Amino acid sequence: MYDEGYYRYREATRDFRIETDLLYGMLRPEAGSRILEVGCGGGAFLAFLENKGHTAVGVDLLDEAVRVARDAVSTSEVLQADAGNLPFGDSSFDRLVAHHLVEHLDDLPGALVEWRRVLAPGGIIAICTPNRLYESPHIFEDPGHVKIYDRAELAEVVDLAGYAVDECITVFPGLGADRLSVRAGVPLYRVFYRLPYFRDRGRSLLLAARRE
């Protein structure tokens, strides 16, 4: 299922690009920030970071993802590794991002503790994942998904792992029909995501937190 065609299609979509911009804003990387992407997929976020002037490191468990990501980047390093057992020393990174990864993890609390280990004090993590409260959950059904979170659930597990949550939002509202939600809800997400009804119900859930 997760072949090169999948990664190239998924990472070229408008919603993926918007999520990438939002995650970058949440990370707030500085010049010289050491950035790690866990679950780097086809390497689109790493390539985005390179275009912003950063050199990053990506890890993924899947052979195909590692191969495709390496082809997508110029200066970033891509390694094969498990999200819960990273081959890096303590405090190796200043920023860590997980873009559509946490829903695949059997042990998110354990992974978050491992991510905290490789983050320097005050380091920032940014997470994007599907939102359990979205009105059409079938749109992100995937046999590889282990658990889908809502805002409160994700914030709680991150907090318990030793982080201070700075921001937790959802974007891409459900507008009663999947086609309308994609055509209008995605480009107009900024209009909706602060409205009370849509605040908890957007399709994608994004969280930023600091290592305490």
d(CA 46, CA 69): 8
- Using pLDDT thresholds of 50, 70 and 90, give the confidence band for residue 72: very high
Which of helix, strand or coil describes residue 136?
Answer: coil
Mean pLDDT of 44-67: 96
Is the pLDDT at 29 greater than 80? The verdict is yes
CB 76 within 8 A of CB 16: no
- Using pLDDT thresholds of 50, 70 and 90, give the confidence band for residue 177: confident
Is the pLDDT at 178 greater than 80? The verdict is no
d(CA 96, CA 94): 7
d(CA 110, CA 133): 24
CB 154 within 8 A of CB 205: yes
Q: What CATH code would you report for 4-211? A: 3.40.50.150
* pLDDT in the model for residue 51: 96
* Residue with more model confidence, 87 or 141: 87
Q: What is the pTM of this model?
A: 0.94
